């Protein structure tokens, strides 16, 4: 089982991340799963009827707007970084949190490296599945890289100029 950072701690991950081409056929009724967007869009009904926990994941080229009417069904939304330098999901994260009021777990997956954690946290992520070769314990320190920030973002509703 992979370890992830949740909040400020390293925890065992209980969720199963289904691949992009996952099909509805072999799903068990129990167990916590994070399904790709396409599966959700096609089989929302069946997925809602399961007993296990439900999450969805969006790839970098998928838009937050495609799930905003469904947010109440997800305990986890995972946003994928196909490469760490693809920054689209920072915007999706902020939209989900700031504009559409999503309150559940927002998890970064894929090419997630410690030096991006501070920015991710500011955009509303609260869970991070680091790339497997990275040590989540060492990475925790990077959540504290900066002790002050200029802009308003999800973690800090006021820009520095309204606080200084």
Residue 86 binds another protein, judged by CB under 8 A = yes
Nearest to 16 by CA among 72, 76, 102: 76
Site residues for another protein, 20-79, by CB under 8 A, read 60, 63
Strand partners, 128: 5, 108
Site residues for another protein, 116-145, by CB under 8 A, read 116, 118-123, 145
Q: By CB under 8 A, name the one of 25, 101, 103, 157 that touches another protein.
A: 157
Pairwise CA distance, residues 43 & 68, whole Å: 16
Q: How far is the CB of 149 from another protein (least distance, A)?
A: 7
Pairwise CA distance, residues 119 & 126, whole Å: 11
Residue 94 binds another protein, judged by CB under 8 A = yes
The residues, ordered by sequence, that sit 6+ positions from 96 with a Cβ below 8 Å of its Cβ are 64, 68, 71, 77, 102, 106, 124
The residues binding another protein (CB under 8 A) are 60, 63, 84-88, 90-92, 94, 99, 113, 115-116, 118-123, 145-153, 157-162, 164
């Amino acid at each position: 089982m992979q370890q992830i950072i949740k909040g400020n701690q390293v925890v065992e991950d209980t969720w199963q991340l289904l691949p992009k081409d996952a099909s509805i056929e072999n799903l068990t009724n129990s167990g916590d799963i994070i399904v790709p967007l396409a599966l959700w869009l096609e089989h929302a009904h069946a997925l809602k009827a399961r007993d296990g926990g439900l999450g969805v994941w969006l790839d970098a080229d998928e838009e937050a707007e495609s799930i905003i009417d469904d947010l109440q069904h997800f305990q986890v939304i995972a946003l994928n970084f196909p490469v760490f330098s693809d920054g689209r999901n920072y915007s999706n994260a902020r939209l989900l949190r700031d504009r559409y009021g999503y309150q559940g777990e927002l998890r970064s997956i894929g090419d997630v490296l410690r030096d991006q954690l501070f920015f991710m946290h500011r955009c509303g992520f609260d869970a991070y599945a680091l790339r497997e070769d990275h040590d989540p314990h060492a990475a925790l320190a990077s959540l504290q890289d900066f002790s002050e920030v200029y802009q308003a973002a999800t973690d800090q509703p006021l820009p520095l100029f309204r606080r200084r």
